[in-house]
Amino acid sequence: MKHVGKMKNNGAKIVIAYRTLPGDPYSALVIGTNALGETYHDALMSVVQDASGQQANELADVLAVRKFPDGNNMLEWLHSRGQLKKVPTSGVLVTPTTNSAFPLDEINIEIAKAKGIDLEDLAISEGMKPKKNDPAKTTSQSVSGEIEETVIPEMIVPEVVVVEEELTPAQLRSKADKLFKEAQVLRKQADALDPPKKSKAKKVTATEAG
């Protein structure tokens, strides 16, 4: 199922409203499902699971035209209640099934490659063009620089320090094989989220055939 995931650091369940943002390709807007009341949670998940939600490239495009049972516009309500959280794409795992999880940042890279565009242009190509009062744009500005104060504790993503170590040729080959396999899995996941367009085969007429 598309648009669902969890935070890498603690497994907090989330719904991904925007996979990436204009001018900030390494950030996403997510909704922490544990912070919602039962009525709002169930209504949100209903939109995620229905055909319009699964066909949408970005779930927020659907939320912008759907309403909660109380009549409130979903995207506006989530924005006004501070439920749209800006987080690093590297801290998000997409979970299309209960037994699979893929890093959102790597999926975004694969989708951009499949589209033949730069990662920085992915948000624009996906149809996200925020207007002056667009909740997505406003949230990304207001949360930037103060995410630790506004995000609920379970969604805070700590900085990861990577320590480089020297690898032997055999270890490098092993690592390369592993990365190749992971790349194949990510490409399949990217194709599932955004199927590549199939080229139409040219019809051969009877005259051409003869």
Point out the least confidently predicted range of 44-48, 59-63, 121-125.
Answer: 121-125
Mean pLDDT of 191-195: 71
Say yes or no to pLDDT of 147 above 80: no
For residues 48-85, b (16+ Cβ closer than 10 Å) or e, as one string?
beeeebeebbbbbbbbbebebeeeebbbebbbeeebbb
Residues 6+ apart with CB under 8 A from 178: none
Q: How many percent of the chain have pLDDT more than 90?
A: 44
pLDDT digits (tens, 9 = 90+) for 87-142: 999 999 999 988 889 999 999 999 889 889 889 888 765 544 444 344 544 444 33
pLDDT digits (tens, 9 = 90+) for 20-32: 998 899 999 999 9
